[in-house]
Structure 1
Amino acid sequence: MTFGIPTKQLVRASLGALSLALLVGCASKGEPAYTPKELRSFNETSSLETQWRRNVGGGLGHARYPIAPSREGNTVFAADVEGVVMAMDANSGEVEWKIDLDTTLSSALTAIAGQVYLATGNGAVISLDQRDGSENWRTRVSSEVLAAPQANQQLLVVQSVDGRVTALDRASGEERWVYTSSQPSLTLRGTGTPMVIDPVSFVGLANGRLATLDNRSGQPLWDMQIATPRGRSEVDRLVDLSGQPIISPDGRLFVTSYNGRVVALEATQGDVLWEADLSSRHTPILVGDFLFVVTDDSQIVALDANSGREIWRNDDLEDRWLTAPAFAAGRLVFGDFEGYLHLIDAREGDIVGRTRVHSSGISLRPVTEGSTIHVQANNGRLETLEVTP
């Protein structure tokens, strides 16, 4: 198999504190309630060299809002929980502009086609101009938004924590349609992130269902149960689809679920192609014929994207609360709760590089471009590193 350009077990220890840290309404992840594996020496064949770093406001706050940065072209956009938004040159770190929205931010950023989209804790969705940070429009949706707003050519699709999915006109912010789903009484903190293409939006829900919505009307074309609640307690029955579905160029859809499975589907009808018994709350990553998944106990698993067959598994970072994976220069990239950034060879599954960004920890998926990695620590430090070779 060859690598191409990337397209875009509850933990075995006690459920108590860990589960509570995951649930809606918790103030913070806090420290893991289980024993992470200690880091061990390894054969370092890749180095991570810092190119520049900047402090972006006060960071993610006590609630660790998932305010992940975004990059378009040669500009990186990042923000903090208090409403500071910055644009920086991706190569030098020079600040191009900085604004203060004077409101609590809650969602990851999306930079696309000259705009930056983000959302607030009180349910406001904001569009900013990439050139100077000026505000284009501001629209309120039904509740807090934690997932990054997702766009196609006409719409901005926003998934809020009450289970509603709202489509807004990208140019004006005007509401086009709203889709409402049933919510279980207990969910993970956070929501799935929609996968939006021109005709449809694929939406993962807290009830374990995946819905495909017609972008003209918001009506479901098909939906299916990806994960089925099991067990006696409400915690055992959590089945959130909290990662983003990803789609391949040939129309296969890959979906992860908590307390459930990884499923590959034919995107137009939802026919199941294969499934693997892996629990994950993270968005996977597809690179060529490999699908990479971070499980809920922070094992990294490489699957054959065509069959679901397990190719390799790495448990060296087990229980270290890894981020979702990114990809740079043939390496998988992850952050962990102690602020280390790890590189794993995507073909073999071996750790090949590591550095520490900041002791406050890393809970946001790194942003990559070629061999360049942008990673934001929980205290707000944004560091840009280069992978060599």
Structure 2
Amino acid sequence: MNHNAQRDQGRVWGVTVQRTVVAMAMVTALGGCAWFGSGSAPKPMDLGPNVVNLPVRQAWTVRIPAIKDANVRAQVQGQDVIVAAADGTVVSINASNGRESWRGQAGKALQTGVGADGRHAAVVTTGNELVVLEGGNKLWSKPLSTSVFTAPLVAGGRIFVLAADRSVSAFDAQNGAHLWTQRREGEPLVLRQQGVLMPYGNTLLAGLSGRLVALNPDDGRVEWEAPLASPRGTNDVERLVDLVGPASRVGNAVCARAFQAAVGCVDANVGRTAWSQTAKGAVGIAADAEYVFGTESNGILQAWNLADGTKRWSVDRFQHRKLSAPLVLGRAVVMADETGLVHLVSKQDGSHLNRLNTDGTGVAAAPVVAADTLVVVTRGGGIYGFRPD
């Protein structure tokens, strides 16, 4: 989606906004820290009646096979939203009308969400196979030497892959030819969830061990790296600080979360950390020209000042609801929870605007916006389009 399109969608939802969304399971390599928790959990607070301050209607819904893993993202390309189901089904939906643009099949169960540009879509299977589709048809596939939990990035005629061994590789999008691999030593554990892999101008940005690293997309050469958090603690789990997606870009500021450690922003023009604040969250963040928004692991929604990281406000009424990463949409911040409720709050102070229902199976990915439509994907395979009423 281009910058002007983002600004136009903000006007439809209430104000002019500028943002870039890129797109969640919280399981370590040990397989023992599920995002949805285990055993008895504290009871969420009663939300009370839904007083509608921002009228929104459901415009359409589409069904795809179930999304069993929360390690998913919805990819926006122009007016289309592309989503991959657990069984390998990949669907592109026109958000303006809810109709399928195309539907394809990777052929195997998937381990990542989908990355796409206007032509190619890429996923990685549970068998560590990179699969690329074109117009819904399988174009090529290639075995990988290690697991991948981050959706591939498709940009500039290439497929970029961030692997669990903290290597980044590039492949030719048309024929799968291997172009380069950049390897980075790091902590022994990695997160089994979406990391940070995104473009910035002619630079490739990747989250590696708590650092945002800029790579030359032509040869993989490291151009700069900026720390958002440093490993601490006495054991491998405590020292785990991988960056988690989605990250957010506003102008030259790229903001991201380091798992259970910090939220911060980097000046990507010079490769310098602008600020970093302690934060205990496990999913990505969102930002606009004023604020950075994040949902903490206990369900508190926090807003920081984009310029310097000063805390602006927080709300605690969503505690223990296991919130998704947020989305900034017009005058609203949107996030969803494990019950499938979608919450809209004011970006100025966190006050309630509206609450939307889905199918009750829980939301599988951070909400996204395309064609003036808020798109929400559930674990049960429901894809919902909402618009201002």
**Please, what TM-score do these two structures have when normalized by structure 1?**
0.86
Report the count of equivalent residues: 369
Tell me how far 1:198 sits from its aligned partner: 4.5
**Alignment match, 2:17:** 4
Tell me how far 1:333 sits from its aligned partner: 1.2
**Alignment match, 1:201:** 204
**Do the aligned partners of 2:80 and 2:370 also contact (CA within 8 Å) in 1?**
no
**Alignment match, 2:214:** 212
**Alignment match, 2:72:** 67
Distance in 2 between the 1:100 and 1:135 partners? 7
Higher relative contact order (CA 8 A, sep 6+): 2
Distance in 2 between the 1:199 and 1:86 partners? 29
Tell me how far 1:161 sits from its aligned partner: 1.8
1:116 to 121, 125, 129: 121
Deviation string for 1:234-271 (max 9, x for gaps)? 3322212123443332x223232123222222224432
User: Secondary structure of the residue that 1:324 maps to in structure 2?
Assistant: coil
User: Secondary structure of the residue that 1:256 maps to in structure 2?
Assistant: strand
CA distance 1:74–1:224, change in 2 (3 Å): closer
**Alignment match, 1:179:** 182
Unaligned runs of 5+ in 2: 1-14
User: Secondary structure of the residue that 2:193 maps to in structure 1?
Assistant: coil
Tell me how far 1:101 sits from its aligned partner: 2.9
Tell me how far 1:36 sits from its aligned partner: 4.6
Tell me how far 1:171 sits from its aligned partner: 2.8
Deviation string for 1:150-171 (max 9, x for gaps)? 2332432111222221111223
User: Secondary structure of the residue that 1:361 maps to in structure 2?
Assistant: coil
**Alignment match, 2:3:** none
**Do the aligned partners of 2:78 and 2:371 also contact (CA within 8 Å) in 1?**
no
**Do the aligned partners of 2:336 and 2:342 also contact (CA within 8 Å) in 1?**
yes
Distance in 2 between the 1:74 and 1:270 partners? 32
**Do the aligned partners of 2:26 and 2:282 also contact (CA within 8 Å) in 1?**
no
**Alignment match, 1:139:** 142
2:44 to 15, 24, 37: 37
**Alignment match, 1:285:** 286
Q: Give me the CA root mean square deviation.
A: 2.5
Q: Which amino acid aligns with 1:93?
A: G
**Alignment match, 2:351:** 350
**Alignment match, 1:129:** 134
Tell me how far 1:69 sits from its aligned partner: 2.8
Which runs of structure 2 are paired with 1:226-305 in the superposition (5 Å)? 226-249=228-251, 251-305=252-306
2:60 to 52, 66, 76: 52
Unaligned runs of 5+ in 1: 9-19
CA distance 1:110–1:318, change in 2 (3 Å): same
Distance in 2 between the 1:25 and 1:387 partners? 43
**Alignment match, 1:12:** none
User: Secondary structure of the residue that 2:130 maps to in structure 1?
Assistant: strand
Tell me how far 1:320 sits from its aligned partner: 1.4
CA distance 1:50–1:309, change in 2 (3 Å): same
CA distance 1:39–1:147, change in 2 (3 Å): farther
Question: Structure 1 residues 240-249 or 162-171, which shifts more?
Answer: 240-249
**Alignment match, 2:308:** 307
User: Secondary structure of the residue that 1:22 maps to in structure 2?
Assistant: coil
Distance in 2 between the 1:244 and 1:30 partners? 18
**Do the aligned partners of 1:88 and 1:94 also contact (CA within 8 Å) in 2?**
yes
Distance in 2 between the 1:117 and 1:246 partners? 21
Distance in 1 between the 2:168 and 2:305 partners? 32
Deviation string for 1:330-382 (max 9, x for gaps)? 21111111111111111221121112212221131112126411111111111
**Alignment match, 1:16:** none
Distance in 1 between the 2:141 and 2:150 partners? 17
Identical counterparts, % of pairs = 21
2:171 to 164, 168, 171: 168
Tell me how far 1:45 sits from its aligned partner: 0.6
Distance in 2 between the 1:68 and 1:323 partners? 11
**Do the aligned partners of 2:250 and 2:288 also contact (CA within 8 Å) in 1?**
no
**Please, what TM-score do these two structures have when normalized by structure 2?**
0.86
Q: Which amino acid aligns with 2:217?
A: N
CA distance 1:53–1:215, change in 2 (3 Å): same
Which runs of structure 2 are paired with 1:141-156 in the superposition (5 Å)? 141-156=144-159
CA distance 1:52–1:277, change in 2 (3 Å): same
User: Secondary structure of the residue that 1:190 maps to in structure 2?
Assistant: coil
Distance in 2 between the 1:113 and 1:88 partners? 13
Deviation string for 1:145-191 (max 9, x for gaps)? 22121233243211122222111122322111111122423333225
